[in-house]
Structure formats: structure tokens, C-alpha cells
Amino acid sequence: MIQIATSWLLLLPILFGLGWLASRWDLRLENRMDERERVRQQRSTFKGLSLLLNEQPDQAIETLVKIAQLDPETIELHFSLGNLFRRRGETERAIRVHQHLANRDDLKPRDRDHAAYELGRDFLRAGLLDRAEASLNRVGNGKYAAPAKESLLEMYQIERDWKKAIIAAIELEGLQNKPHQTEIAQFYCELAQEALRRKDLMDAEQSITRALQAVPNHSRALILQGDYLVALERPTQAIEVWGRVADAHPAYMHLLADRWMAAYTALDKAEVGLERLCGLLKTQASGELLDIVQKHMTQIQGPQAAELMLVDVMHHSPSLSALSKLAETRLSLAEGNQSPEKISEIQSILGLLKERTNSLARYTCGNCGFRARRFYWQCPGCNHWEAYSPRRSEGAAQSGPSM
């Protein structure tokens, strides 16, 4: 018995050795199969990329989507591919790629959020706003929560859905720990303006109060508060509120100067209103305010007074617009008591000056450089709020976009 056991004991190391060799063989076989699969997938990836480079994007999508099903490691490649399509304006293809990712059940929560976010951006770009909203709202509380909320905020502004925009901006403040009070004040101002247009004065008052809570002494909110008081037939109070604009934001006075004069006229004090506006010209003569003051002064005090005022402005703040207004006033003074030759001379000078001021006088966005003939609270070029300087410039046209 002992002899048999000893011979078995001698066999044991040999059996172990054989077992080890067999396991190594299995491992090598497995590795070789893995290697073959990897090479196959690599080939498919290259095939997909080459189809893409050969401008066959639809076939490329099919090939790459198949790889993604087999190999979850290619997820980043798919995000890059989808974003590439979107940047090229091929939103339909971007949607297909991102939709495929969003529909997969095996994605990690972070990748699922990423896919929902990218899909939302695609829908937004394609103008499919309902679907964009649904996709962006699916994004969870992780890394993509703030970018998704920013996209929702952008979308609500496109839709002019100011109430939803306010909620999104407040939520974004919490996510980014960064204030959005200027935008919130502007959204309330948009609501107030709409309410004033439909003569819903109670709603207008509420929105103006909220805007002033967001940004105390906000220029646009004060302008609208004056409009609201005029609608209530309280011109004295409207002038009082607009006086705060004159003190704190004089550069914005051209936006309300005509209504300011109407309120003073309603109180039979047009001269007083005009005098206050003239006082502002000492610092604000380079913009539209000068056009408005010249118009009212000509009506109330006559062209001689307007000429004196413009000569004074040319003295302390010379500009092409002031010179053009001076020529205009001198033309109206010359008509009736000057020779036809003299009148024709002033007319040709005025024509040239108007041509120059019309082509150069623009409001410019401080963020993207977009130049526009009229003032905007939100830049039509980059959608930033309060990026426009309230002062019109007469500088040479830049290479940036303009309208």
C-alpha cells in the first residue's frame, strides 16, 4: 500500500506540470482569439473611417454603429463622430449617431447623460425644439447637468418663453454657482413689455418689480416703469422714475427721450423737459439723443435756437452726426431767404454728410463686434444681453458682421 502511494506521489508533480501546460495553452488560444477579434474590430473601424473620408457618411455610420455594439470602448469615437456631423451642419446624421448611443441600455449613467445632452444639441440645431427640450430634460445631475441647462436656457430664449427662461436661469445659478441676475432682469423686462403691449398693467407692474429685485436700479426696468406710469396716466411719476435713468444711466436716455417730452408736454412743461435733455447733451451728444433734442428744439423754440445748440455741441463734442444736423438746420433757415445757388450748395453738403453718417453710425456689440443701425438689449449676433454699448459710434466699419 505504502509503495503504491509513493509512486502516486512521484506522479503528482508530473500531473501538475501537465495541468499548467494545458492552462497556458488555453490562455494562449484565448489570447489569440481576442487578438483576432481586436484586429477585426480595428479593421472595421478603419473601414468606417475610410468610408467617412471618402464622403460616404451613411455607410460609415452603419459600420461604426456595428462596432459600437461589439465594443463599448468606441463610445468616445461615436461622440466625436456625432459632433463632427453637427458642426458640419449634417444634423440628421448627428441625430442618428447620438440616438443610437442614447438608446443603448448598457451605457454608464455618465455616458447616457452625455448622449442625451448631445442629442438635445442636435435637435436644437435642427430646430426641433420640443424634442430638444425632452432630450435635455433627460440629462441627470452629473457633469452634463449645467451644459444641458444652458442649452435649455438658450432654447427658451429662441422660443421667447421668458417664464421658462427665468426658471432655467435660476436653476443654472445653483448648478454653476455663478450669477445670472442680469439675464433674469431682462427676461422680466421682456414679460413687462409684452404685458404693456396687451395693456395688462397688473402683470406689467409685477414683472417690473421682479426685474428691479433682480438688479436694483436696472436701466431697462426703470424705462418700462415710466412707460407703465404713463399708461396709468401719471406723467409726473413717470418723469420722476425716468429722472433716475437720467442720473444713473444717461447713455440710455435716447431710448425714452421722445416719451419724456410727451410726458412733459402733457403737463404743459415742454420747455422744462427740453432744458433737462439739453443739459444731458454735455456728456451724451454723440448719439441719437442729439437727433431727438434737435427735433424737439426746432418744434418748440425754432431753427435758430437749434442752430445755436448745435454750434455749441460741435464746439465740445464734434461728430459727423452733429455736423449733419447743423447742415440740416441751416438748410431750413436758408430756405426762403437765400439764393437757389446757396440752398443747392447746402443741400449737396447735407447729402454727403447723411450718406457718411448712415453708413458709419452703428451700435456695436462689445462681445462679438456685431454692428447694427438700431439698439438691441440682446445682440442678434451672439445672443448676449446688454452687450451693446448704448452709445452709437461713428468709427470706420470693422470687418465683423453688421446689419
Any contact of residue 290 with Zn ion (CB under 5 A)? Answer: no
In the block, residue with C-alpha cell 451728444: 285
Name the one range near Zn ion by CB under 5 A: 243-251, 342-350, 369-377, 390-398: 369-377
Contacts (CB under 5 A) with Zn ion, residues 327-366: 365
Out of 235, 287, 303, 381, name the contact with Zn ion by CB under 5 A. Answer: 381
Kindly tell me the sign of the dihedral angle through the C-alpha atoms of 262, 265, 270, 275: negative
Any contact of residue 382 with Zn ion (CB under 5 A)? Answer: yes
Out of 182, 368, 375, 393, name the contact with Zn ion by CB under 5 A. Answer: 368
Q: Amino acid identity, residue 108? A: K
Tell me, by CB under 5 A, how many residues bind Zn ion. 7
The total of other beta-carbon atoms located within 10 Å of residue 199's CB is: 9
Any contact of residue 372 with Zn ion (CB under 5 A)? Answer: no
In the complex, minimum distance from the CB of residue 96 to Zn ion, in angstroms, rounded to a whole number: 33
Any contact of residue 370 with Zn ion (CB under 5 A)? Answer: yes
Contacts (CB under 5 A) with Zn ion, residues 6-45: none
In the complex, minimum distance from the CB of residue 361 to Zn ion, in angstroms, rounded to a whole number: 18
Query: Could you tell me whether strands 363-364 and 371-372 are parallel, antiparallel, or unpaired per DSSP bridges?
Result: antiparallel
d(CA 61, CA 96): 8
Any contact of residue 367 with Zn ion (CB under 5 A)? Answer: yes
Any contact of residue 297 with Zn ion (CB under 5 A)? Answer: no
In the complex, minimum distance from the CB of residue 114 to Zn ion, in angstroms, rounded to a whole number: 29
DSSP string covering 227-251, please?
Answer: HHHHHTT-HHHHHHHHHHHHHH-GG
- C-alpha triplet 266, 270, 271: angle, nearest 5°: 160
- Whichever of 19 and 366 has its CB closer to Zn ion, that residue is 366
C-alpha cell at 220: 431697462
- Whichever of 244 and 384 has its CB closer to Zn ion, that residue is 384
Residues forming a β-bridge with 393: 362
- Nearest of 145, 142, 149, 148 to residue 165 by alpha carbon: 149
Contacts (CB under 5 A) with Zn ion, residues 240-269: none
In the complex, minimum distance from the CB of residue 321 to Zn ion, in angstroms, rounded to a whole number: 23
Any contact of residue 379 with Zn ion (CB under 5 A)? Answer: yes
C-alpha cell at 139: 440629462
Any contact of residue 402 with Zn ion (CB under 5 A)? Answer: no
d(CA 83, CA 89): 10
Residues making contact with Zn ion (CB under 5 A): 365, 367-368, 370, 379, 381-382
